[in-house]
Amino acid sequence: MVAVAVWAAMTGPVEIKGADLLPAILAKTGYACQADAQAMLQGTVLLNIRMPRIALAILVGAALALAGAVLQSLFRNPLADPGLIGVSSGGAFGAVFVIVIGHAWLPFAGFASQWMMALFAMGGGIGTTFFIYRLGLVNGRPHMTTLLLAGLAVNAFVGALIGLLIYVASSQELRTLTFWSLGSLSNVSWTHVWIACAFIVVPMVTVWSFVRPLNAFLLGEAEAFHLGVPVTAVKRNLIFISAAMVGASVALCGIIGFVGLIVPHLLRLLLGPDHRFLIPGSVLLGALVLMLADLIARSVVQPAELPIGIITALLGAPFFLGLLWQTKLKDFG
């Protein structure tokens, strides 16, 4: 992972060789005695553009994979992904709302509108999750099948609302929102990273305390209760922890699909279902995968870049199919 991070730091429109990495950082931070212009440029690119971007890729990748792992276990459904509880669609609605209608009503432009978008996406995501969670309560307890169906219905409804907004959007707005919906890690600053830290790292640490209850959940909900797990509280906390992590990711870099679905899957095949390995594994592999995807996204069509969502799906889907094929051969062949 460190190697990929270093490699990612070296790749880009401004070429930086491995040997130049350290002098460049030193020059920029003022520790080098004689800094030349080249080293200063490289230092700026490294510290202000590439490193925050790499840091955010690590955080977002880890968050998406972890939320996927948690939700798959909670729903005991290997097809569950963060989209199910409405974070993605709600977040998308918030962002599209700002893109299409926001600038007409809200006196924000340029930099501020970026912030508005992040805020609305986050609010839309968590708000939608809350709404679905409330719909899924039966006798005050979250009922997973009801939650799943409520999620489907609300997602479809929010999707229609987004469709309406798209219908009234101008072509410039359309372009912005298409790119947003495909996900991107461009224009990342350290501020983004700090926000991500608050909304991703804190929930991520709390997930660790749920490792044993999550294992019990795989036995079944009643069984988890018999084993002393306070089922209702655990479900509620984990759903909102996931929503916070995914909401922050969607707000900062748009919708990045497939990472949350595939990474936990892959790890279950490799490490088994025990969450003591699955949880840290998802964090590490999710970070690694998104860092690599971002590296590819910004280096294949230099100096332009591809939306990262295209890369994760384009490479993730065939890889996943290959994996399925192999398990099929092993089990039935």
Partner 1 sequence: MLRNIHYRLGYQSILNNISWDIEPGRITAVVGPNGAGKSTLLKILSGELLPTEGEILLHDRPLVHWSTVQLARMRSVLPQSFELSFDFTVAEVVSMGRMPHTIRSQTQTNPRICAEALQQVGMQDFAERLYTTLSGGEKQRVQLARVLAQVWPEASHPEPRYLFLDEPTSNLDLHQKHTILSIARKFMHNHIGSVVVLHDLNLALKYADTAILINAGEMVEAGNVMDVLTAANIERIFHMRATFLDNPYDAQRPWLVTAPR
Sign of CA dihedral 232, 234, 240, 242: negative
Total residues at the site for partner 1 (CB under 8 A)? 20
* E strands, the chain, in order: 137-138, 141-142
Binding to partner 1 by residue 143, rule CB under 8 A?
no
Cβ-based nearer residue to partner 1, 73 or 88:
73
Binding to partner 1 by residue 182, rule CB under 8 A?
no
List, as one string, the DSSP characters of 170-237.
-HHHHHHHHHHHH----S--HHHHHHHIIIIIHHHHHHGGGHHHHHHHHH-HHHHHHTT--HHHHHHH
Strand 141-142 and strand 137-138: pairing? Answer: antiparallel
- Report the DSSP beta bridge partners of residue 137: 142
Binding to partner 1 by residue 273, rule CB under 8 A?
yes
Q: What is the rounded distance in angstroms from the CA atom of residue 202 to the CA atom of residue 17?
A: 35
SS3 category, 110: coil
Q: What is the rounded distance in angstroms from the CA atom of residue 244 to the CA atom of residue 203?
A: 7
Binding to partner 1 by residue 223, rule CB under 8 A?
yes
Binding to partner 1 by residue 228, rule CB under 8 A?
yes
Q: Which stretch binds partner 1 (CB under 8 A): 10-18, 106-114, 150-158, 213-221?
A: 213-221
Among 37, 222, 301, 329, binds partner 1 (CB under 8 A): 222
Among 230, 300, 302, 327, binds partner 1 (CB under 8 A): 230
Tracing tokens 């224009």 back to the chain, one arrives at 187
Among 226, 300, 302, 321, binds partner 1 (CB under 8 A): 226
Q: What is the rounded distance in angstroms from the CA atom of residue 52 to the CA atom of residue 42?
A: 15
Among 227, 284, 315, 323, binds partner 1 (CB under 8 A): 227
Question: Smallest distance from the beta carbon of 220 to partner 1, in angstroms?
Answer: 7
Q: Cβ atoms within 10 A of the Cβ of 36, count?
A: 11
Question: Smallest distance from the beta carbon of 84 to partner 1, in angstroms?
Answer: 19
Question: Smallest distance from the beta carbon of 157 to partner 1, in angstroms?
Answer: 30
Contact between residue 144 and residue 221 where contact means Cβ atoms under 8 Å apart = yes
Residues 28-87 interacting with partner 1 (rule: CB under 8 A)? 76
Cβ-based nearer residue to partner 1, 37 or 79:
79
**How many Cα neighbours within 13 Å face the side chain of 275?**
22
Among 42, 89, 129, 215, binds partner 1 (CB under 8 A): 215
Question: Smallest distance from the beta carbon of 275 to partner 1, in angstroms?
Answer: 10
Binding to partner 1 by residue 270, rule CB under 8 A?
no
Tracing tokens 């790499």 back to the chain, one arrives at 54
Cβ-based nearer residue to partner 1, 20 or 274:
274
Q: Which stretch binds partner 1 (CB under 8 A): 154-162, 170-178, 210-218, 290-298?
A: 210-218
> What is the binding site for partner 1 (CB under 8 A)?
76, 212, 215-216, 218-220, 222-223, 225-231, 268, 272-274
